[in-house]
Chains A and B, each alone.
Chain A
Amino acid sequence: MATRRSGEQMISLSIDGRAVQVLPGATIWEAARLLGIGLPVLCHDPRLEPVGVCRLCLVEVGEPKLTAACVRGAEDGMEVRTSSERLEACRRGLVELLLSDYPVDASDRPKTGSDALVELAAELGVDWPARRWSGETGEAPGSRTEPAGGIPAGDGRALDGTSKVIFVDHQACILCDRCIRGCDDLQVNEVMGRTGKGYQTSIAFDLDVPMGESTCVSCGECEKVCPTGALSLVGWEGPPNDAAGSGDVGWEVL
């Protein structure tokens, strides 16, 4: 039931049985955040227009289909559930699927934030070869070989070390599109997009040229918003995966 408050129509809904009111236009993810309910996200960042591609924030709203909380608008009378066996199975499965293509050494690279994918895997207890710190084991960094959750592993995407500032590991990219929105929408540098289609899709600079040859101005926004080891800092001496992080990755409630 909508209540009138100083001329503004508020939307009332319940999330996990708790009532909450939001302004029209607010998403379920935003409403959940007001209640302190953190939903896992990899592609979402509150500073960016949501795209709903990683599917981790799926919730139940009493419709046959699950719905992505980051893009779905809150509706009056909605009854949202953010956890259930069904949702857990989906989230774990999605993380396993992502890890099946994720190179194990990618999470060791120096980043502004943390590796949200690997953190989420740990959080959900997803079975994945323990993180191998190449420094500790003395092993040469290499791509993973054991399947995550029995899903065949993928490998072989390019590394791009042409930029002086940011190192690109396409194999570690989960195509969350955060870097693209960071570059084109936040910074309005308009360098990054997607190239290709389907499984062949990857991020690209300009007409898919190496980053160092593109019109990139090295602002660093893409690296900052990247939730994986796909974009990392070149020649940075700090500890890997700075625990302080930027605070805008992962599924922490902000």
Chain B
Amino acid sequence: MRLIRELEGLQAERGCLDEASLRELSSRLGVPLYRLEGLVSFYPHFRTEPAPPVTISVCRDMSCHLAGPEHVADALREELGGTEGLAVEEASCLGCCELAPAARVNGHPCQLQDSAELASSMAGGDPGLGGDERDEREWKSDPYGEAERYGVLRAALESPSPTDEAERIVDALQESGLRGMGGAGFPTGLKWKLVRGEEARPKYVVCNADESEPGTFKDRVIMEELPHLVVEGIALGAFVVGAEKGIIYLRHEYGRAKAALEAELDRARVAGLLGSGVLGSDFSLEIEIFVSPGGYILGEETALLEALEDRRGEPRNKPPFPGQVGLRGRPTLMNNVETLALVPGILRRGVPWWQSAGRDGHAGLKFISVSGHVEKPGVYEIPTGTAVAELIELAGGVSGGRALKAFAPGGASSNFLPADHADVPIDFATIEERGSMMGSGALVVVAEGTPLLPLAANVVRFFRNESCGKCVPCRLGTQKATEMIEATLESGVPLDWSVIRKLNLLLGETSICGLGYVALNPLISVAEHWPEEVPGCSAEAPE
């Protein structure tokens, strides 16, 4: 954490990390130059040349692709070309897909069409836009009135036997069936139990707030609006596994979430809920926020740990898993923001409440980011088991009154499903039965009339752009597949489907991490359901 923070500090001070600054840092810290080069060239938020006063970052990914023409950044650059002190750059999903086509102007989210105006208003100095006025929303996952917050943590710390209490919490979570909401869906109670059982000390709790999957922005809203549940979730995790240190690994773009979390951590400190000897008990806890230097791959749990250890964010070979060998080689409990935020409600109201909060036999509540072709994109908190079609209705229906053509239920890495699957109840098992996955809980809606090969190409390109490059299949395979699909889109030459299948086999079987595993899945699913849109694929039955 130290070296990356040094680099960030230096960049803030000098405007960029030029050669002289890096050489200076290298001799001051005794860190070899190659290590600095490795970091500065890997993380997108480091730069070696000064940035102009105003930068418009234009999202190029899935939800924004659905909302606007390709090459919008080029068009914008042309329009604003020559404007003194202004740069236009393309960026990966900015985590504000409900604004699609989205942009950020010096980090402030906006719709692309408003970006030029916002940029000129910033030209004379960044006014530091404050929080926007937003209706206070009621979230069913929040069990508290304001005065009752941290009730579960308080009760746990007051319990005469912390051991019994920790075990009760693990049992309740296991009974609830809560699963990880970061993408992999690992049972949360079991994870807490395993990390609790590890003997090595110290232990750590990491809240994975790196949310960067195209179409996904639920964690951002949870952190902005329910930060107390996130902090309490981390504290409960630390109490159960025996950790005294929590880290929130936050994606770079989430300035507003950062402010909300910082304010919440301050409140918790003042209330004696953090620090040494919390509420007079033996339990001590510090929580700090670490801002990611950028890149989707950092959300992968072991890449995230590498970044925290000041290395390039390249996923580790697993096993061992972070629960056994995590941060600095110590047992580390890592959970997604939403997973942690759901814990206090389940413990406060009890497992029966959680089980009845879902529908038709499905347990619990689920936050879903809805984007793409819908009237009211945004984050919806739904009873698990709600059908995709109902959620689309909640979100105002398919935009422009069009018919539904396809949807991705779990963000860019999930397989596309055709409209006739919109009856699927939203839950891990039910979506898997239809051949896709819950993933990061991001429903991306595609209206009739949208060509799907360009959309699949967009997703494959995203994985190519975000591959860390560590392992052969993903570093080369995502590039080769992207080249092939682009050639087909440009000239209509059929895809050599046997090669696509070979690349898909290599990615799925031989990659180190989940990015590689899924990189071609969305393309394969388009070929499976809409073979007529993928020249070349129908020659052979797709896998």
| Interface residue ranges, A against B (CB under 8 Å) | 51-55, 58, 65-66, 68, 71-73, 86, 89-90, 93-94, 96-98, 100-101, 149-152, 154, 174-175, 184, 190-201, 204-208, 215
Contact = CB atoms under 8 A, between A and B. Distances in A.
Given A52-B317, A53-B470, A150-B499, A193 B35 contact: yes
Most buried by A among B19, B23, B38, B496: B38
Interface stretch (B7-15, B259-267, B282-290, B503-511): B503-511
Interface in B30-44: 32-38, 41-42
A56 B11 CA distance: 40
Interface in B437-486: 464-473, 475-480, 483-484
B295 interface: yes
Contacts of A97: 472-473, 476-477, 480, 503, 506
A190 B317 contact: no
Nearest to A204: B37
A90 B510 contact: yes
Interface residues of B, number: 46
B33 A197 contact: no
A190 B505 CA distance: 37
26 contacts: A52-B471, A53-B472, A54-B471, A68-B317, A72-B317, A73-B319, A90-B505, A93-B502, A94-B510, A97-B477, A98-B476, A101-B476, A150-B502, A151-B499, A190-B34, A193-B34, A194-B38, A196-B41, A196-B469, A198-B464, A198-B467, A198-B468, A199-B467, A199-B476, A201-B475, A207-B22
Question: Chain A contact residues: over half helix, strand or loop, or mixed?
Answer: loop
B496 A150 contact: yes
A97 B473 CA distance: 8
Contacts of A96: 502
A200 B469 contact: yes
Given A195-B38, A199-B476, A93 B33 contact: no
Contact of A100 (B23, B312, B480): B480
Closest 8 CB pairs between A and B?
A193-B34, A201-B469, A190-B32, A199-B479, A206-B33, A198-B467, A55-B510, A195-B41
A190 B26 CA distance: 12
Nearest to A208: B37
A197 B468 contact: yes
Most buried by A among B38, B478, B502, B510: B510
A191 B483 CA distance: 33
A55 B312 contact: no
B512 interface: yes
B498 interface: yes
Contacts of B502: 93, 96, 149-151
Interface string B31-60: 011111110011000000000000000000
Most buried by B among A90, A196, A201: A201
A199 B475 contact: yes
Interface in B192-218: none
A70 B487 CA distance: 37
Contact of A198 (B37, B465, B505): B465
Most buried by B among A53, A65, A96, A197: A197
A68 B496 CA distance: 29
B505 to A, nearest CB: 6
A190 B512 CA distance: 26
B469 A198 contact: yes
B41 A208 contact: yes
A55 B470 CA distance: 11
A58 B476 contact: no
